[in-house]
Structure 1
């Protein structure tokens, strides 16, 4: 969004006058009077707007109103695990699912606090750099994602805090408290609970899905985290989901939006649609005939901001046609301006301490240190047969193998920012062992196949009009229309920009297109394979013939073309590319495909002292609405939860060396690894660990950090364990209702030391105090995640439910008493109307380092019961 140039010099925005009382005499606008309440100022401001101005403020790209000195503002920003997609360098923490694995509310609160500070610095710096009003520099963050990760096939489950309502609510609340701060007047930043509600895939059909869970599951599984954040933590915003709920789009749902959100929960913050969700009303759900009908209905249901499109502009006509009253428009616009006032956007910087946050907080030492600490905390040790781990630093040779060993994309996850430095596992191991230990690297396989493109250095074979490289043309639209905004010669086609980052001249890194042209002269007769990798749409032409067409959205999608070559012949290569949203990435590489010989690889590595295999999956395969069609994957989701077959085959070959094999699994979701769980001696689940993932993993592998992460999701043994993906009932889903035997259960995780539990005591009647003694009985200092589970009577009651957790540190040989408070409200089940049911009978209570009935390095949880 362009900002009117004169806005930078008007006294309304700078200098001592700003918005304070001194301006009152000059302008006479009560909304500029800081002595008045925010509510009175908002009432005055909105009362001065025309209908057209009000409606324009209800788009995520809210334009400036120069006559009143109102700057432009874009509501769209993300802070999933650090400020995302910003043009500035930031600290990147582990992906949300990894942060959930820490089971540490204090740690996630600190992460959110640090991220809010970096967000403030970005907002302040953006104003100084002339970026005010652009996307991804604002203070309204559409995070956290507190949907329940009910099915491991969902590609966006990595953005959540897992499958449990209580864990999700506690981690989400801690995040909101850290992000929004505790200033009595101003918000540090504005959090937003999404996606409301009952939204967790499949990705390819999310714009047309109509979900109808049972009312019991709605109240007991899908809504508790939202209720916690809205009624107890006072989250500033809510995002309504794409899908329909009981035949009404979520953003226009009577039950969700009016009955529950606004009436029962008394939510008075703002609601944004998910991006393009209003268009879904009339284009996909077909519940409304026109944009005008859809927009009016969404606003009447309390959806204040439309993201992504401009259907809301039809609200002007809707008011004139009598579909909605202007006073209803006022309600939404007032909510929006109230948030901006609470963020201090209309007050002098001297009054808002956050407005003085310097750019020096970006990637500050404490922030980077916490990113490393959280990465360590998130790592889950799944298997450690015969104490293969930790490895000795005195080994002479270590082999590091696999598609995630040196994959920076995997460790950064999705919805991420860009740090100044990213440490992959390969780099982390090299840094850990130093120059005296030989570290050899073999990628060996891709995620789903064993045929690798061996890249060749062909830079000197690309030329354009006598100069080496590519002729690049950049357009300020996504369709290569008109004249290019700028042109230049680029030595290679290897570009990666954050959205909003300056590409060339005035062109920013979103909503643009580009054409890259070069003449490639073959050195040999034979063939050359070209790999084109881009985030969004692209085409590849050879001598004017289109050989790859992926012009529809293709995030993280790489495709190849084999060109038969004749020595001395020149071929005209053209890459056309467009970028709509998100990061911009376009790369062209060349080489030859070679199939890996597993037996030969194992022979080469048999003299290594240990083999570390880094596999699993990555955000290149799972994520939001992606065009990925590799075996086992579809549209961002997974069609199978099994580790891709080629990786198991490679691990089987590595196992024949007779050397210790350590499987480091990176993933944002549960992976079924039945063979590995039986035969690979050491398995570490490292998620997508953020900028310091490689350092953290190496710390765990070599014993400088004792792992204590716990699984926030169930790791099932096979696809057969899963109900249908589109079935939103909770029957046989998650640890709370799954009646089978998981490979690794929710809450599971091992340590390099051992713990024991004794003296479980329950006191109280209406409010229960539960105490237990925890002892580190091993020979290492370590951390333990103490977990409290209850089983309550009831026909539809969960098998067990997490009701408390604490992450504690214990020196070897030391003990500590851990105490939990459990209220009747926590024990209650809700009926089909969301009301607590009266429970009668015995409540089972178990406390330990895992679920009851599971023996780990924490021993077996201790149990007792109380009678209601």
Structure 2
């Protein structure tokens, strides 16, 4: 019987018995899943719900946390942090050919912004305001990851983040739910492609469900307390967009919402996700978040937290192993229904089926030659293009930029300028510092006829433990100032690179202060006092409070962490080979104390007025951002005029057409991000002062005019009503079209009842 089963599986994988399994209908999918489920023991079912951390041993691939021979015994459904075509095939062979049922494994990794070719961090990609380009980047990441046997990524992170102190703001698309939803859908399409059975695609995971970005005090893993209205209107839209785009995996969040941890929240994971949105994929816990329910204090032991998570709708337990170790006894004792286990297994098997793993479990690892696609010239070219478009020009006094390519003496100052690890940013997957181009290298390559001298100025961060690297990044050491001043005096122009080492951004890297770390501001003051032209290049994963630089530095460029091609992209923009066209996806504060800070805030009964004491403001700094959401300059200028609405009165089922003329009034070709904002003037609940409802990135030659058109369905004006449920209420709306959230041409229209 054993020999017959293996022969049958072999024929299945080779396509002899089911030559077109990839195109079968849902009934055949269900039939295969039910047939497998009927044959599975309870322990094998729970094994399908278990995700372990991968590793290698001298004897071959193993699962670190699993029991001996866990894969062959059917106790593992997926493996993470394990890749390489040959190694993956070897491990998959254990599951397919050496276990009783031969169910293939999922192989997962955090492929956040590239695999080997590293693209700009997601916050920087959002600054492109170019979802088609972001989709291309995710497509390349999927192609590279799948070439080494991976079929699942824990991305995109779609958390809305309104507090710059939160370290993981770098992983998302910023503060706006509309921009976040557009970018979430783009990344899902990029990862999953048009057909998940294509072996160059990987399963996308929208995370962290939900409201993880609203952590109190911006402190990672902290509690969250938001109203259902805020949850529905701000934090859930990017997740729903990911589901609508086809995402078949969702990751539950570490945080609680209103006293219920997300990993045990049936309302969130089942009622909203599955019943309201129709989600058919699997829900995976975040790393040990099932076990961590114990620390939330909602259960007495690991068996109880496992039961609560599974009953809430978490299908797969990441790393903690609680499901496979504890839940069989819960079922046998009658405390957990086996039907709940079965439903979770169905969802896991359905995802494996739709990935084509039952047709060919080796589709992602069979051809090791595919690994040659890693870091290909074409991929590097795209990474450079995305990086160029992510750069935001914040200030350019006296048109200091672009720099002349005839410069002879250039100073590059700042340890980050020569930091090949930091350019990759957090969560750089298989990216290698030796493959990355630093800013210093990029400037030297772009100016072969010039002498480019470098001085670190502040402490360079050596490799070491996380604590050691953070301590070095925050060092008070000023011993490098003298050398930096000498190099600056010698130079015709100074390129001063300031910001954050990558260990100061990302997971578990929240900061109580979003000012420049260490002695960087003091160094900037010393160099600015010399009277040399200074271009400040910011390299960071969050908005920084830089009011002193904004007042004194003649030019400031926000460059984020741009990935493998960062140095070339920065040089392209500084020297005018590319025009900056990025826009801020987050508001930049004047001081840390303004956080959380976001443009689409609610009105107050006492709006801020500088001349009146008893209004909503600060007494020590202005209440406004230093640089608002959507802001960014170019090397040219643009004028807006002739704002036209297709009609002034609309019904609930109508669509408003908005047209504006945009003219390049400068001397250089450039790209403008035209932005559409709306405000509901009077409603039954308070509405934001502005909400982004559309944007378009357009390129114009000097003197060229384009009519930019938006279509605004009235249904896009919906909000979570006073009695619950989505509503659009009749009334007047104000509309703006302009270059940022802080300015634009204005018009009004009315929505009327049928």
State TM-score, norm by structure 1: 0.73
Aligned-pair CA distance for 1:757: 1.5
Aligned-pair CA distance for 1:325: 1.5
Between the aligned partners of 1:308 and 1:680, the Cα distance in structure 2 is 49
Whether 1:18 and 2:6 are equivalent positions in the alignment is no
Deviations 1:848-868 (A, max 9, x none): 222243xxxxxxx22211122
Aligned to 1:539: none
Match of 1:305 among 307, 313, 316: 316
Q: What secondary structure is seen at the aligned counterpart in 1 of 2:384?
A: helix
Aligned to 1:214: 227
C-alpha contact (below 8 Å) 1:219/1:834 kept by paired residues? no
Aligned pairs for 1:233-248 (under 5 A) are 233-248=245-260
Aligned to 2:465: 534
Aligned to 2:550: 677
Match of 2:646 among 747, 763, 769: 763
Q: What secondary structure is seen at the aligned counterpart in 1 of 2:416?
A: coil
Match of 1:79 among 111, 120, 124: 111
Kindly tell me: are residues 848 and 155 of structure 1, through their superposed partners in 2, closer, same or farther at Cα, counting changes over 3 Å? same
Aligned-pair CA distance for 1:723: 5.2
Aligned pairs for 1:217-228 (under 5 A) are 217-228=230-241
Aligned-pair CA distance for 1:672: 0.6
Aligned to 2:121: 95
Aligned-pair CA distance for 1:613: 0.6
Between the aligned partners of 1:148 and 1:818, the Cα distance in structure 2 is 28
Match of 2:590 among 710, 717, 723: 717
C-alpha contact (below 8 Å) 2:165/2:217 kept by paired residues? no
Between the aligned partners of 2:224 and 2:128, the Cα distance in structure 1 is 31
Deviations 1:624-680 (A, max 9, x none): 12xxxxxxxxxx111112223621111111112211001000111110101100110
Q: What secondary structure is seen at the aligned counterpart in 1 of 2:570?
A: helix
Deviations 1:237-289 (A, max 9, x none): 1111111222121011132123211222222210001111001112x101011
Match of 1:686 among 548, 554, 559: 559
Deviations 1:65-115 (A, max 9, x none): 6344626635532221012xxxxxx21100000000000010011111111
Aligned-pair CA distance for 1:832: 5.6
Between the aligned partners of 1:407 and 1:73, the Cα distance in structure 2 is 38
> Larger deviation: 607-616 or 593-602?
593-602
Between the aligned partners of 2:533 and 2:587, the Cα distance in structure 1 is 27
Match of 2:30 among 25, 36, 39: 39
Deviations 1:576-600 (A, max 9, x none): xxxxxxxxxxxxxxxx997426356
Whether 1:443 and 2:456 are equivalent positions in the alignment is yes
Between the aligned partners of 2:545 and 2:410, the Cα distance in structure 1 is 27
Match of 1:666 among 539, 564, 584: 539
Match of 1:109 among 131, 135, 152: 135
Q: Greater share of strand residues, 1 or 2?
A: 1
Between the aligned partners of 1:205 and 1:104, the Cα distance in structure 2 is 30
Kindly tell me: are residues 294 and 753 of structure 1, through their superposed partners in 2, closer, same or farther at Cα, counting changes over 3 Å? same
Between the aligned partners of 2:45 and 2:593, the Cα distance in structure 1 is 53
Between the aligned partners of 2:143 and 2:250, the Cα distance in structure 1 is 22
C-alpha contact (below 8 Å) 2:674/2:695 kept by paired residues? yes
C-alpha contact (below 8 Å) 2:388/2:578 kept by paired residues? yes
Between the aligned partners of 1:95 and 1:111, the Cα distance in structure 2 is 11
Aligned pairs for 1:345-424 (under 5 A) are 345-348=357-360, 358-416=370-428, 417-419=430-432, 421-424=435-438
Aligned to 2:179: 167
Match of 2:278 among 250, 254, 266: 266
Between the aligned partners of 1:326 and 1:380, the Cα distance in structure 2 is 54
Aligned to 1:3: none
Aligned-pair CA distance for 1:146: 0.7
Kindly tell me: are residues 645 and 359 of structure 1, through their superposed partners in 2, closer, same or farther at Cα, counting changes over 3 Å? closer
Deviations 1:139-174 (A, max 9, x none): 111111111111000001100011000000001101
Kindly tell me: are residues 294 and 823 of structure 1, through their superposed partners in 2, closer, same or farther at Cα, counting changes over 3 Å? same
Aligned-pair CA distance for 1:394: 1.1
Between the aligned partners of 1:351 and 1:763, the Cα distance in structure 2 is 51
Q: What secondary structure is seen at the aligned counterpart in 2 of 1:714?
A: coil
Aligned to 1:495: none
C-alpha contact (below 8 Å) 1:12/1:23 kept by paired residues? no
Q: Greater share of helix residues, 1 or 2?
A: 2
Kindly tell me: are residues 203 and 81 of structure 1, through their superposed partners in 2, closer, same or farther at Cα, counting changes over 3 Å? farther
C-alpha contact (below 8 Å) 2:601/2:689 kept by paired residues? no
Kindly tell me: are residues 719 and 33 of structure 1, through their superposed partners in 2, closer, same or farther at Cα, counting changes over 3 Å? closer
Aligned to 1:57: 48
Aligned-pair CA distance for 1:830: 1.4
Aligned-pair CA distance for 1:717: 0.6
Between the aligned partners of 2:190 and 2:23, the Cα distance in structure 1 is 29
Aligned to 2:59: none
Between the aligned partners of 1:202 and 1:617, the Cα distance in structure 2 is 22
Aligned to 1:192: 205
- Please, which runs of 5 or more residues in structure 1 have no aligned partner? 1-5, 25-29, 84-89, 124-137, 447-451, 454-530, 536-553, 561-591, 626-635, 854-860
Aligned-pair CA distance for 1:799: 1.0
Deviations 1:692-715 (A, max 9, x none): 001000111111110000000000
Q: What secondary structure is seen at the aligned counterpart in 1 of 2:207?
A: strand
C-alpha contact (below 8 Å) 1:153/1:641 kept by paired residues? yes
C-alpha contact (below 8 Å) 1:13/1:69 kept by paired residues? no
Aligned pairs for 1:252-651 (under 5 A) are 252-282=264-294, 284-313=295-324, 314-348=326-360, 358-416=370-428, 417-419=430-432, 421-434=435-448, 436-446=449-459, 533-534=464-465, 554=467, 556-557=469-470, 595-596=478-479, 598=481, 601-625=484-508, 636-644=509-517, 646-651=519-524
Aligned residues: 679
Deviations 1:115-136 (A, max 9, x none): 111122111xxxxxxxxxxxxx
Between the aligned partners of 2:477 and 2:363, the Cα distance in structure 1 is 63
C-alpha contact (below 8 Å) 2:165/2:513 kept by paired residues? yes
Kindly tell me: are residues 10 and 662 of structure 1, through their superposed partners in 2, closer, same or farther at Cα, counting changes over 3 Å? farther
Between the aligned partners of 1:158 and 1:791, the Cα distance in structure 2 is 28
C-alpha contact (below 8 Å) 1:723/1:732 kept by paired residues? no
C-alpha contact (below 8 Å) 2:455/2:487 kept by paired residues? no
Whether 1:747 and 2:630 are equivalent positions in the alignment is yes
Kindly tell me: are residues 865 and 357 of structure 1, through their superposed partners in 2, closer, same or farther at Cα, counting changes over 3 Å? farther
Kindly tell me: are residues 719 and 268 of structure 1, through their superposed partners in 2, closer, same or farther at Cα, counting changes over 3 Å? same
Kindly tell me: are residues 622 and 680 of structure 1, through their superposed partners in 2, closer, same or farther at Cα, counting changes over 3 Å? same
Q: What secondary structure is seen at the aligned counterpart in 1 of 2:740?
A: coil
Aligned-pair CA distance for 1:837: 3.1
Kindly tell me: are residues 55 and 611 of structure 1, through their superposed partners in 2, closer, same or farther at Cα, counting changes over 3 Å? same
C-alpha contact (below 8 Å) 2:266/2:311 kept by paired residues? no
Match of 1:809 among 699, 713, 724: 699
Between the aligned partners of 1:373 and 1:750, the Cα distance in structure 2 is 18
C-alpha contact (below 8 Å) 2:677/2:691 kept by paired residues? yes
- Please, which runs of 5 or more residues in structure 2 have no aligned partner? 53-75, 78-94, 609-615, 618-622
State TM-score, norm by structure 2: 0.84
Whether 1:786 and 2:669 are equivalent positions in the alignment is no
> Larger deviation: 688-697 or 306-315?
306-315
